[in-house]
Structure 1
C-alpha cells in the first residue's frame, strides 16, 4: 500500500474512532444521569415519607431518554395525564363506591379510551393518555373496597409520579445536558442546505422520475422530523419557544416550495417525453438564472440572507427573459405549455424566496414576537386504529376484572396495572406483539435479577448509600441495553421489571411470598396485554390500514377541490406529508406498496396544489361570466376520480378539464385560470404517472397534441 493510500485512510480511521468515542460517552452519560435521577428520587421520596418510593423511582425509568428535551416533553405530558387520570379516578370511585362490577366496567372503558388516544397521537401527547389510564388504575384499584381512601391514594400517587418527573427534568436539564435545540438547529440547517442544493443542481434539465420519488421521500421525512423536533424542543428552551412559530412557518414554506418544484420538473419531463423539445428547452433556459442565483455558499450554518438579493435578481432576469423566449414560438400549443411552465416557475420562485427569507429570519439573533404567520402542522390520523385499540384494551381489562372478581385473587389489581401500562404503551407500535414479547422477556429477567438483588444483596447491607451501591450494578445492565437499537425493548423491560419488583420502601420489607405472588401477577398482566395483541391485532402497519391511508391520501384532492379556502394550503401540505410519512414508516422500502404510495403521493401533491391555486384565482373574481360552472364541474369530477379511481371516472375528469379549458379560452380569460387548468390536464395525461393505469391506449404524445 502506498503512502498516499495510508494518508487517505488515516482521516477516515480517526473519524471512526472519534464517532465511536462520542457514542460511548453519550451512552454512559445517559446511564449516569438516569441512575442519578433514580436514586435521588428514591432518597427524596423516603425523606418525605411517601408511601411508595418505588412508584416515583419507576417513573424516572419510564421517562428516561438520551436527549433532555425528550425527557421534558415526556414529563410535561405525563404530568397532564397524571392529573387527568386522578380526576377520572375520583369520578369513578364517586359514581360506583359499592358496585364493584360497574366500577370495573367504567375503569376498563376509561383505560380503553386512553389506549385509543395513545394510538391516535404518535408524538409525546400519547404519554398523556398512557398516564391518564395508568394513574386512574393505580389510584382507584387499591381503594376498590375502601372508597373513602381515594383521596389519600390520589395524593400519594400524584406526589410520587410528579416527584419522579420533577427530578428527571432537573437532572437532565442541568447535568451535562444534551440539548434537543442543537439537534433541531442542525436538522433545520440540513433541510435548508439539502433543498437549496438539490434545486441548484436540478436547473440543468430533466430529473428522472425515480430520482424525484427519492427526493420527495426525503422532503417528506425532513418536514415531519422537523415538526416532531419542534414540538419537543419548546419544553426545553425559552428561545426555541420564541422561535416556534417561525419554525412552523419555515416548515410550511418548505413543503409549499418542494411541491411547486416537483410540479415544475414533472411538467418539463412530460414535454421532453412528448418530444416538445422547443418548449422544454425554453423552460430550462428560463430556469437557468435561478440556478446561478443559488450558486453561493449554502452549507449548513451559512447565512441564508445572502441568497435573498440574488433571488430577486434572478426573478427580474426571468421576467425579462420570458417574453423573448415566448416570441420564438409559433405553435399555439407550445405557447400554452410555455405559459403554464413560466407561471409555475414564478410560483416556485416566489415560494423559494419566502422559504429562504424565513430561514434568514430564524438565523437572526433576535426575532420579533408575533411576526410569523400563524400556521399549524395538521396530522393525518386514522380513527379506525384508535377505535380498535380502545376495544382491545377495554376487553382485556374487563377479562382481567372478571377473573379477579370470580377468583378473589388478592394480586388481581397488580395484574391489571401492568396490563394497563403495556396495552397503552405499545398500542401504536407497528408490531406490538413482537415488542411486547421482547419487553416481557426483559421483564422476566429483570424480576429474576431483582429477586437475587433483594434477598441476596440488600439483606446484607444497611443505609441508603450501601443500597445504592448494591442496586446500581444490576440496574446499569438494563440502562445500557436501552441505548441499543436491537436490545432497547428488552432493556426497557429489564429496567422496569427490576425497578418495579424491588418495591423500594422505607423501611424496606423482605417478604419472599409476597415477592413471588407479585411477580406472578405482573407476568399475568404482561401476558394479558400480549395475548390481546394476538387476538385483536393492531392495524398499525397492516395492509388494511395502508389501503385506508392511501385512500385518505387520494381524498386530499377532494379536500383541495371542495374544502373552505382559508388555511387550506397549509392543511393540505401538512396532512399529505404526515400521511406519506406514516405509510412509508410502515412499509418495506422498495416494495410494491412503497412504490405505489410514492407514485400516488406525487400525483396528489401536484394536482391538489394546482386545484388550490385555481380556486384562489377563481375566488379573486378573475373568471369571466359563464365559465365558473365548467370549472366547478371539473373540480367535482377530479375529486370523485381521486376518491375512487377507475377508468370511467378518469375519462369524465379528463373531459371535464378539457371542456373547462375550452370554455375559459373562448371567453379570453386571464392566463392564470388557463395555466392552472392546463397543468392539471397535463398531469392527467402523464403516461409515467400512477394515473396511466386508467388511461385509454392512446400514446401520451398524441393525447397532449390533441389537448385543446
Structure 2
C-alpha cells in the first residue's frame, strides 16, 4: 500500500509540476520503496547524492567529449568502471550511492549526446524527479509506518537473546544425548551436525540485528538517544558468540569425557533468557548466582586446585566468562527495555567495521568495462534510438551485477521481471491506456500492476523480480505529459532491455570466470588475512570483520557437504584463534611469568602470526603449532596454580585457558583443511581427562 500510494502521489506531483519525464518519478519510487522506512530514508539520501554527482559528471563528459562518440564512450566507460569498483568494494548505502553515480550518468549523458546543449536541463530534471521520489516515498513510509524499523530491531534483539539462551543449553550436553535440549526445535536442519551449525545461524542473526539498528533512528528519532547503548548490546551478543564458539568446539573434541558441571550452573539463566528475554531482572540475578556458584566451587583448597587438569580449568574459566558477559549484555538490554537513554558521546568509528575485497572489486570492474565497451561499440556505430536505451540499461545491469556473487542468477531474476513487465505493459499501452483520458483512469490501469509488483517485493524469493517488474513496467508504459508510447518505441525499449541483459550476463560469465570452490577459497584467504592482522589489534574490530567475512562465504554454492562444513569450521577456527591469541597476549602481561615462559609466549604468538601471513599454511605446520600451544598452556597452568597472589593466579589460569583454546582452534582449522576427522589425531590435553 505504501508503494502504491507513493507512486500515485509522485506521478500526480510530476504531472502537476510539468516535469519532463514523469515516469522517472514512478521508477525511482519503485526502486526506493523498502519494508523498513528507516532504511528507505538512508537509501533515499544515498540515491539523491549519487544522482547529483552523476549530473555533474554528465555535464563534464558532454562538455569535454560531445564532438566524438568514441571519446565520450571511453570517458563514460572509465567513470562507470570507477563506480563499479567502489560499489564492489563497499556495501549497503555506500555501495548504492556509487551504483547510482555510475548508471545515472549514463542515463543523463547518453540521452543528451544527440543534442549536447540539453545536458544541463536533463541533469536538473533527473535530480528533480529523484528528489520528488525520495521525499514522497520517505514521507509516506515514515507517516504510515512510524517506528517500524525500531520495532523490527527490538523484535530481532529479543530473538537473538532467545537464540543465545538456546545455545547456552547446548554447551552442557554430551554428544550422545542428541535432540534439541530446549524443546523449541528452532534450529534449522542444514545437514551440518558439527558444533558450528547453530553458531553460524547465531552470528547471522547478530550481524543482521546490527544492520537494522543503524537505520532505526531515521523513522523513530527518539531511538537516537539509545543508539550507542544498543550498539554495545549488539557487540556484547557477538562477543558471547565468540566465547561460546571456542568452548563448544573444544568440548566437541572431548565428547563425554569431560566434566561439564560448571556449565550446568548456567542452565537456569539460559532457560529464563530463552523463555522471556524481555524480563531482564530474574535473568540478571540468575547469571549472577551462576557466576558466584562457579567461582565458589573453583575456590577450593590448594590441593584440589592443583589436582585440576588444564581441561577442567578451561571449562571453569570459560563458564565464568560466559556468565559475566551474559550478565553484562542482559543489563544493557534491560536499560534499553526500560527506555533509559545513553547520554555518552558517540564515537564516529564503529567496532562493526566492514571488510573489503579489492580483488573481487577489480574483477567486477574489468567485467563491467568489457560489457560497456561492447555496448558502446554497437551504439556508436548504429544510429538506432533503441541502442541509447540499451547503453543506459547496460550501465544499470553491470553496476547491479557487481554487487552479487551470482550474476547469472541475478540475470534470471531480471529476465523474469522484465518478461512479466513486457506482457502487462503491452496490454496497458495498447488496450487500456488509449481509453484513459484523466489521471484517475491512469491510476486505475497502473495501480493493480504496481500492487502486484509490491507484493512480490515483500516476498524474499521474488523481491528482485518484483522490483524489476515494476521498474520495467514504468519504463515501457512511459507515463508523461507529452503522450503515450507507440508500438515502435515499445519494441525498441524491449529490445534494448534484452540486449543489455545479454551483454552484461555474457561479460560477467566469460571475463575472469570463477568457480564456487575458487570463490570459497578466495573468501577464506580473506578470513585468514584478517586473522594475521588480528592477534594484537582491537578485539571488537577483529571479531566483527572476521564474522562479516564468515557470512560472505559462498558455502551453499559449492554443492558439497564436506566443503560446506569445512569452510564454516575453518572460518570459526579463525575467529577463535584471533580472539584467544589476543586474550593470551593481554593476560600474560598481567601475570609476570618467569622470563623463560614470557619468551615462549612471545615466540608462539609471533610464529603464529607469521604462520598465517601467507594465507594457507601447511597442515603439518598447523598441527605442530597446535602441539606447541598445548605444551605452552600446560606450562602456564603449572606456574599459575602455585602463585600466591590471587589476582595474578587468576590471570595466569585464564592465560593458560586462552592458550589451550588457541590450541583447540588450531586443531579445528587443521581438521577443516583435511576435510574430514582424522581418527589418529587427539588434542594435546585429552590425556588429562583420561
TM-score class, shorter-chain normalisation, is: 0.7 to 0.9
Within a 5 Å distance, the mapping from 1:150-549 to structure 2 comes to: 150-175=119-144, 179-200=148-169, 202-203=171-172, 210=193, 212-271=195-254, 275=257, 280-281=258-259, 284-294=260-270, 296=272, 298-300=274-276, 302-324=278-300, 327-328=303-304, 331=307, 334-370=308-344, 375-536=350-511, 542-549=516-523
Within a 5 Å distance, the mapping from 1:614-633 to structure 2 comes to: 614-620=584-590, 622-633=592-603
2:18 is the alignment partner of 1:36: no
Specify the SS of the correspondent of 2:266: helix
For 1:446 and 1:649, the matched residues in 2 are separated by 58
For 2:368 and 2:522, the matched residues in 1 are separated by 23
For 1:586 and 1:80, the matched residues in 2 are separated by 36
Deviation of the 1:71 alpha carbon: 2.9
Moved more, 440-449 or 81-90: 440-449
Deviation of the 1:700 alpha carbon: 2.0
Specify the SS of the correspondent of 1:549: helix
Cα-to-partner distance string for 1:497-529 (whole Å, 9 max, x where unaligned): 221022222132454333333333333223322
Q: 1:476 to 1:675 in 2, by over 3 A?
A: closer
Query: Paired residue for 2:182?
Result: none
Moved more, 262-271 or 683-692: 683-692
Q: 1:640 to 1:704 in 2, by over 3 A?
A: farther
Q: 1:345 to 1:147 in 2, by over 3 A?
A: same
Q: 1:356 to 1:405 in 2, by over 3 A?
A: same
Deviation of the 1:432 alpha carbon: 2.0
8 A contact 1:686–1:700 mirrored in 2 = no
Picking from 663, 667, 678, the partner of 1:681 is 663
For 1:340 and 1:474, the matched residues in 2 are separated by 61
User: Structure 1 stretches of 5 or more lacking a match?
Assistant: 1-31
Specify the SS of the correspondent of 1:235: helix
Query: Paired residue for 1:15?
Result: none
For 2:336 and 2:513, the matched residues in 1 are separated by 41
8 A contact 1:549–1:583 mirrored in 2 = yes
Query: Paired residue for 2:625?
Result: 653
Deviation of the 1:178 alpha carbon: 8.2
Query: Paired residue for 1:111?
Result: 80
Q: Considering only aligned residues, what root-mean-square deviation do their CA atoms show, in Å?
A: 3.3
Deviation of the 1:355 alpha carbon: 1.6
For 2:418 and 2:26, the matched residues in 1 are separated by 16
TM-score with structure 1 setting the length: 0.84
Specify the SS of the correspondent of 1:243: helix
For 1:330 and 1:629, the matched residues in 2 are separated by 24
Specify the SS of the correspondent of 1:376: coil
TM-score with structure 2 setting the length: 0.86
Query: Paired residue for 1:593?
Result: 563
For 1:175 and 1:56, the matched residues in 2 are separated by 20
Deviation of the 1:307 alpha carbon: 2.4
8 A contact 2:269–2:283 mirrored in 1 = yes
Moved more, 510-519 or 378-387: 510-519
User: Structure 2 stretches of 5 or more lacking a match?
Assistant: 179-191
2:61 is the alignment partner of 1:92: yes
8 A contact 2:196–2:245 mirrored in 1 = no
Moved more, 243-252 or 194-203: 194-203
Moved more, 530-539 or 216-225: 530-539
